Every structure is written in C-alpha cells, then in structure tokens.
Structure 1
Amino acid sequence: MSVPTDRAPRATPAPAGDEILRSTLRRHAAGVTVITVPGPAGFTATSFTSVSLEPALVSFCLSLTASTAAAVEDAGHFAAHVLGPQNAALAAGFARSGVDRFTGVDWSPHTEGPPILAGVPAWLVARVTLLRPVGDHLLVVGEVTDGGGNGEPTGLVHFEGAFAAAGPLTQGGG
C-alpha cells in the first residue's frame, strides 16, 4: 500500500490517539446509564450496549482505576439502569467520585444482589459471564436475567460534555 506524498505538510503535529478519540466521541450522543453492583456500589456509564439477543447479553466498560472497579470484579450480577431526563441529577451524582453515591437515592436490593434504583425508565439485571481487561478498561459482559422500569419514552444522553434529552423526531417534517 502506498501513501500519497503530495499532501501539504501539517503545520502542527497530529493529535495523539487519545485526543482524537475524546474529540470524536464528544460528538457521539451516548445513552446514559447507572450501573450498580452489590455493596452497594455504582457509577454512571455511557458504554452500556447490547451484545447478543440469543443469549441475551449486554456489556459495559469501566476504567481499571475506577473506585468501583474492585466491586464490579467481585460481583456475580450487575444492574444497568437506563435513565431519562428526569434522572440527570442521579446521573451526575453517580458520576462523582469521593462521595457515597447512594446517599439520598431511593433504591432496593434485587434478589440477585445489585441495587435497583427507583424512578428510572428501564432497568435490567444480568449475571456476569465475562470480565476482561481491555486497554486501560475492564470489559464486563452479562446475561440478562430480569428487568423492569417505569417506561418513560425519553432517554437521557451525553453529548458535547453535557446531558441532553433524546426522543423520537417528529414524522413527516413537522
């Protein structure tokens, strides 16, 4: 494979890969979730995603240096809470470090252990099936065992460093 040599030289050095990743992903609207594990422990995550329908698998990632990493590694189950705009303060609270993230939060323990947060559009519980360090993060995959929620149709997203509401676009241009 040849590389074109007729390009003008760059006036400044190319940004490092981590800078490119941060800059690009700021422009990617990502759903906001709170992941909880027994302890209780939890954190805000935008890395939550589906992996497979058969079996029903979901995943998320967190930094290996996160304060909740040890609790996640020790957990047999986790709960993922899909948030709506009314949960922005909850998302902000679970994103803070150095505090008890459960203070003032209405929750109850699920029979499989993880805390279930009240007042969220949707939640699910999954049994951990894979824990794998990937780069500077821990990849966690789980098989869905239960779910529920209040069904709020508008989602909370993170975009350009802030929380925003996501909902259906109007159909037919208006």
Structure 2
Amino acid sequence: MSGHRTAGVTQRDVPSLYDSFALYGSGVTLVSVRDDAGDRFFIAASVLTASVDPFTIALSVGGNRDALPVITGGATWAVSVLGTQHLPLVRALTTRTSPAERLDALAATGAESSPEGPLWLPDALVTLWARAHTVLPVHDQFLLVGEVTRGSVHQHSTPLLRWNRDFRTTTAVPATRASVA
C-alpha cells in the first residue's frame, strides 16, 4: 500500500513535525541551579534573547525537570553556552546515567560553583546568571523568562549545535545548496 496520496506525494514522503523541528539548529547550553539539596542541572537548546533593556533570556523547560521548582522559587540560575570542547560532557549528561555520574562528569569538565550558587563552566563561550521573571505553562513545558543579572568573560571557541537529533560542530552540519524556482 502506498499511503494517502495528495498531489502525487504520499504521506510517507511528508516529514513529521518532529522531523521538521529537528532541522531547527540551535546552540547548546548547560542550565544549573542550586538549593539546599544540591546542584540541579540539564542541557537546553534554543535559549533566546527575550529583551535587551533589561537583558532577558527565555527557554523552554520540561515540567518534570527537578531544577524547575528551584528556579521558579526565586533561586539564581546559570546558563553556560557550550563550545565543541563540551561535546563529551553533553553526551554524558544526555544519556541514561545516575545523578552522581552526571555530577562527576561536570566536575571532570571543570564546573565550578559561582558566587551566586549554581555551577558554571569557566571555559564556556559565556555564562549568564538570571532570576526568573515570568513562567508560562505551555502543554508539557514551561516557558521560562529570566532577567540576566550578570555575565562572564567571553571565551573563544566554536559553538556546539543541536541539529537533526544530535549534537554537532558547525563543520559537521551538512551544507546544501538552496535553489529558487
């Protein structure tokens, strides 16, 4: 069976929305926060500038992230923008490992506690510290908007990208030719 046909295209030929969103390239970040129970952190993509006066960032956070209640409770959180040197760390933090193993991977990469509390990576392209400004539930996610309180010194490195369901360097993203009909 060839599937449903529309104007010569079968449904199998049409990419899913998941496939389409996978081709939206974005930078990769480490988001961290600390409370009395310890460090909480996760890898996030698609962090964006929401405002420049004052500087404000926004990101989508899964409702099941243990860091979310700490962040929305008023704790300062950090967003470290990752470079290609952080690919092994990202792989360690996004595979099924124990919290202790993930914390060990962060320590091995040189993560440090900041004066504000959360972990940060001194060799990240930049780290921004923020406090929650607005939290908006959107289906299974929360749109978190944070007012930036401080930034680190910029480091020179090639940014790490999330593209096509994987983490890549800019040289590992295939180039294609655009054609205009």
With the shorter chain as reference, the TM-score category is 0.7 to 0.9
Partner of 2:160: 156
* Structure 2 residue ranges without an equivalent (≥5): 1-5, 172-181
Deviates more, 1:40-49 or 1:91-100: 91-100
Partner of 1:172: none
Does the 8 A contact of 1:78 with 1:114 survive in 2? yes
The alignment's TM-score, normalised by the length of structure 2, stands at: 0.75
- The answer as to 2:130 corresponding to 1:129 is no
Name the one with the larger helix percent.
2
CA distance in 2, matches of 1:156, 1:110: 23
- The answer as to 2:56 corresponding to 1:60 is no
Deviates more, 1:59-68 or 1:128-137: 59-68
Change (3 A) 1:69 1:128: closer
Change (3 A) 1:98 1:67: farther
- The answer as to 2:120 corresponding to 1:119 is no
Partner of 2:98: 99
Change (3 A) 1:44 1:147: same
Deviates more, 1:25-34 or 1:59-68: 59-68
How many residue pairs match? The answer is 158
- The answer as to 2:34 corresponding to 1:33 is no
The alignment's TM-score, normalised by the length of structure 1, stands at: 0.78
Deviates more, 1:122-131 or 1:59-68: 59-68
Deviates more, 1:140-149 or 1:71-80: 71-80
CA distance in 2, matches of 1:147, 1:63: 25
* Structure 1 residue ranges without an equivalent (≥5): 1-6, 168-174
Q: Which amino acid aligns with 1:157?
A: L
Change (3 A) 1:126 1:67: closer
Secondary structure of the equivalent of 1:133?
A: strand
CA-CA distance at 1:47 after TM superposition: 2.5
Deviates more, 1:127-136 or 1:68-77: 68-77
Q: Which amino acid aligns with 2:31?
A: I
Deviates more, 1:20-29 or 1:81-90: 20-29
Change (3 A) 1:97 1:142: farther
Q: Which amino acid aligns with 2:159?
A: G
CA distance in 2, matches of 1:44, 1:96: 11
Partner of 2:17: 21
CA distance in 1, matches of 2:11, 2:166: 29
